[in-house]
Amino acid sequence: MKIDAIQADITTLEVDAIVNAANRSLMGGGGVDGAIHRAAGYELKEACRTLGGCETGDAKLTEGFKLPARYVIHAVGPVWNGGHRGEAEKLAGCYRRALELADSVSARSIAFPSISTGIYRFPIERAAEIAVKTVEETLPSTGIDAVTFCCFSEGDLAVFDALLKR
Ligand code: ADP
């Protein structure tokens, strides 16, 4: 069981599943969502259209189409609203559900972006702590053996590295 953090564009990773930081419509957006849709091609949007959206804190699975990853798991993180509106529990739900879905298709490797910490403004230190804790707790009940936190910035990578080296 391996958990690590790297700085990369998640659309380039050769893993079984990548996670998308999607919105409730699942019809594409900015940030990592836009990058994933561009790289996967129009078929991803067609696949997402059939899913009927997704609740905050939950996730849904599609194929990866033109991506090197076989699957995309679309997780909907919470918008940060000060921290008293269930944001932490909803963010944990994204990581838990994504791992469960990956396991349900026998994925062995998965990469996560830093969900909710871009346009949704969740503070990176708190979000990373929830991400690492939830993955550490959930992983043993799955068959997944490699988890990568794929950071876009050097600053985010430093935050995840510090937590993983504790
Ligand atoms: P959210 O709306 O959940 O906050 P964003 O896409 O705005 O989602 O941001 C989530 C994180 O994904 C941010 O840290 C952002 O810098 C990062 N990000 C943006 N593009 C990519 C990419 N191609 N690969 C990995 N991470 C990315």
For the stretch 136-147, pLDDT in tens is 999 999 999 999
The sheet with strand 2-7 has its strands ordered as 2-7, 146-151, 109-112, 17-22, 71-76, 59-63
Distance 58 CA to ligand 1 centre (A): 18
Distance 17 CA to ligand 1 centre (A): 16
pLDDT at 1 over 80: no
Which protein residues are within 6 Å of ligand 1, measured from CB?
9-11, 21, 31-33, 35, 77, 113-120, 150, 152-153, 156
Question: Please, are residues 139 and 3 in contact by the beta-carbon 8 Å criterion?
Answer: yes
Q: Which of 33, 58, 103, 156 is catalytic?
A: 33
Residue type, 152: F
**What does the pLDDT read at residue 84?**
97
The model's pTM: 0.98
Q: Which atom of ligand 1 is nearest to the CA of 121?
A: 4
Which structural domain, as residue segments, surrounds residue 127? 2-164
Average pLDDT, the chain: 98
* 34-75 pLDDT per residue, tens: 999 999 999 999 999 999 999 999 999 999 999 999 999 999
In the chain, the number of structural domains is 1
**What does the pLDDT read at residue 112?**
99
CATH number at residue 101: 3.40.220.10
Q: What is the pLDDT confidence band of residue 28, given thresholds at 50, 70 and 90?
A: very high
**What does the pLDDT read at residue 166?**
72
Distance 145 CA to ligand 1 centre (A): 24
Instruction: Tell me whether residue 156 is one of the annotated catalytic residues.
Output: no
* 83-121 pLDDT per residue, tens: 999 999 999 999 999 999 999 999 999 999 999 999 999
The closest residue, in CA terms, to atom 21 on ligand 1 is: 32
Residue percentage of the chain with pLDDT more than 70: 99
Q: How far apart are CA 68 and CA 135, in angstroms?
A: 23
The residues that bridge with 3 in the sheet, in sequence order, are 147
